Structure 1
Amino acid sequence: MKNRLMDGIAQPAFVLMWSSAFIVGIIGVGAAPPMVVLLGRYAIAGPLLLLYGLAVHAVWPRGRQLRHVMIAGLLVQIVQFAAFYSAMGEHVSAAVISLVQGLNPVVIALFSGVLGEHISRRQWVGFGIGGIGIALAVADQSRFSWLGLLLCVVGLLGLSLGTVYQKKFSPAVDSRAATAVHQLVSAPVAALLVLISGNFHISDYGRFAISLSWMIIVNSIGVFLLFNAMLRRWDATRVGKLFFAIPVTTAILAWLFIAQPLHALTIAGLAIGMIGMVLASRKTSAARPAPGVEPTPAVPQDLTAQPALPAAATSPDLTRA
């Protein structure tokens, strides 16, 4: 009975929890500057994840390995989320941001020289189709921003480069410890970004507190625990396929909760983009499988430093989003 309950609830719960990160992110940056949201998230989630790692006796990286984990964490957390949250501040929709983030495995494939992998013709086609889907979804936005789109690309590169870096230099680090280190090292950098921006004004403390609480409890901790539980129970491919449902789920949640429009062109763009994601994430039989954040070989982001996933599972904490 317990096993059937896990099968029936875990997968939709994971998709909803991951997708919700984009929604609460937009609510958060609507109540406070993006860098303040970033700082609040890491300043609270980092110590909590540290306590969790100590409680479960995680193996902590040291020396050169620790430096590599810190660099990967700054790429995945600071570069990715500073860019994505700033894009939200430029009124880029949650659906577009989640679709761009979902192209993470495609960008990782483009760094095949680092990973020693071969890019198949099907993957190149998938990359092109995914780009067309994003273009359609963006074209349907009532308030288009070239700066916002550029920020999305920067965020995607941060996630992908951080994933590749972690895979190359610290692939065997305990995922629980790496996740805590990523958040802890990002907090002071986020504080510096707040000081540089000079914008500390919180316009709505209630919305800010609610969104921040959700980011920390659900997106930074809850989805991380559920992700690992599913990987212990099921194979990585089954878990990885869930990421293909996130852009559409995000679009629906954004329509329901923050009144972002869901027009025919947006739906078409999301559908085409997802087809591209599926094609680009599939490997030919001759190609070596690409290991998958937050969260290691293919960190989904808002999940960083998670157990290895195939490229299909790579997507974003927004850690985890």
Structure 2
Amino acid sequence: MPPDSPWARMAPALFVLLWSTGFIGGKLGLPYAEPLTFLLVRMVLVAALLGGVALAVRAPWPKSRGEAGRIALAGLLVHGTYLGGVFTALEHGLPAGTVALVVGLQPLLTAAVAGPLLGETVTGRQWLGFGLGLCGVALVVWEKLSLGPGMVAGLGLATLALVGITAGTLYQKRHCGGMDLRSGTAIQYAASAVLFGILAPLTEDMAIDWTGEFVFALAWLCLVLSVGAIFLLFALIRRGAASRVASLFYLTPPTTAIMAWLLFGETLGAFALAGMAVVAVAVALVLRKG
């Protein structure tokens, strides 16, 4: 994809839009299946889909076990740890806004370690953008912050998700730059399916209520999130600095809030509207060249 093409310019906005539907799909599907069981079915379906596509188009596969292992490890971090942490945090009763706030710390964490690990330079203007972005995310979800007794486990799981997506993004950038997206992502989802295949039977009864809403949520998360959004994320990581790509995640909470308002009637207060404006300024500071 040429960097100056219309698709390249639209890719960041499209990624934010697709990624933000993750909480919406989870909200639709989680009432009908426990989180790890839900994720196990999702990983198996996507791994089979992408594996079939990779074989059909004769996509290149890793040339060594070491290369395949690095790709699988990145997948366990980006898919297994992140999604497992988010979905189980929601299951433990942590408000979705609080989960979004914790995961929204990713740009700051990425920026803090991207320099030493990847040799990237983070400017003062970008640090200002990261700080403003954090403030904006906090404003967006402020009205839903309601921590109380019993939320400690959920907060820990959300933090685990934050560490997973940050480490996975950096590891993907450093060690999997030559990965074919079709075969490599199939390996990553297969590795995550193995993880959830071990954990789900140990912690859940694995019952699924196959309602129309669950099937729709599963199909959306498999095709739009696990294929479309992840392909876009990896393509953006390959083309740009990890810290700049990570700043896009600041746009997820306000975008999700708008979707929740449109689909579920969740209202947006003054803090949320102010936070969206702050986030827009923050992302502009981080992504601006020069």
Which TM bucket (shorter chain)?
0.7 to 0.9
Q: 2:170 and 2:230 mapped to 1: Cα distance?
A: 20
| Equivalent residue, structure 2, for 1:134 | 137
TM-score, normalised to structure 1, is 0.71
Which amino acid in the other structure matches residue 168 of structure 1?
A: R
Q: Does structure 2 conserve the Cα–Cα contact (< 8 Å) formed by 1:96 and 1:134?
A: no
- Between 270-279 and 25-34, report the one with greater CA deviation: 270-279
1:258–1:96 distance in 2 versus 1, CA, 3 Å: farther
| Equivalent residue, structure 1, for 2:117 | 114
| Equivalent residue, structure 1, for 2:50 | 49
Instruction: Give the Å deviation of 1:32.
Output: 1.6
| Equivalent residue, structure 1, for 2:216 | 210
1:224–1:70 distance in 2 versus 1, CA, 3 Å: closer
Which amino acid in the other structure matches residue 110 of structure 2?
A: I
Give % identity: 34
Higher relative contact order (CA 8 A, sep 6+): 2
| Paired residues, number | 275
Instruction: Give the Å deviation of 1:68.
Output: 0.6
| Equivalent residue, structure 1, for 2:277 | 271
Which amino acid in the other structure matches residue 77 of structure 1?
A: H
Q: Does structure 1 conserve the Cα–Cα contact (< 8 Å) formed by 2:26 and 2:217?
A: yes
Q: Does structure 2 conserve the Cα–Cα contact (< 8 Å) formed by 1:94 and 1:254?
A: no
Which amino acid in the other structure matches residue 200 of structure 2?
A: V
Q: Does structure 2 conserve the Cα–Cα contact (< 8 Å) formed by 1:26 and 1:94?
A: no
Q: Does structure 1 conserve the Cα–Cα contact (< 8 Å) formed by 2:33 and 2:207?
A: yes
1:82–1:276 distance in 2 versus 1, CA, 3 Å: same
1:264–1:202 distance in 2 versus 1, CA, 3 Å: farther
- Point out where structure 1 has 5 or more consecutive residues left out of the alignment: 286-321
| Equivalent residue, structure 1, for 2:37 | 36
1:256–1:165 distance in 2 versus 1, CA, 3 Å: same
Cα deviation 1:186-227 (Å, max 9, x = unaligned): 1011111212213424356443222112211222234567x4
Which amino acid in the other structure matches residue 278 of structure 2?
A: I
Q: 1:84 and 1:242 mapped to 2: Cα distance?
A: 18
| Equivalent residue, structure 1, for 2:3 | none
Q: Does structure 2 conserve the Cα–Cα contact (< 8 Å) formed by 1:69 and 1:182?
A: yes
Instruction: Give the Å deviation of 1:90.
Output: 4.2
| Equivalent residue, structure 1, for 2:127 | 124
Which amino acid in the other structure matches residue 74 of structure 1?
A: L
Q: 1:13 and 1:137 mapped to 2: Cα distance?
A: 21
- Between 98-107 and 33-42, report the one with greater CA deviation: 98-107
Instruction: Give the Å deviation of 1:77.
Output: 0.6
- 1:1-321, aligned counterparts within 5 Å? 16-61=17-62, 62-91=64-93, 97=99, 101=103, 103-111=105-113, 112-141=115-144, 143-144=146-147, 145=151, 147-202=153-208, 205-223=211-229, 227=232, 246-279=252-285, 281-282=286-287, 285=290
TM-score, normalised to structure 2, is 0.78
Instruction: Give the Å deviation of 1:41.
Output: 0.5
Instruction: Give the Å deviation of 1:114.
Output: 0.7
Higher helix share: 2
The alignment's C-alpha RMSD in Å is 3.5
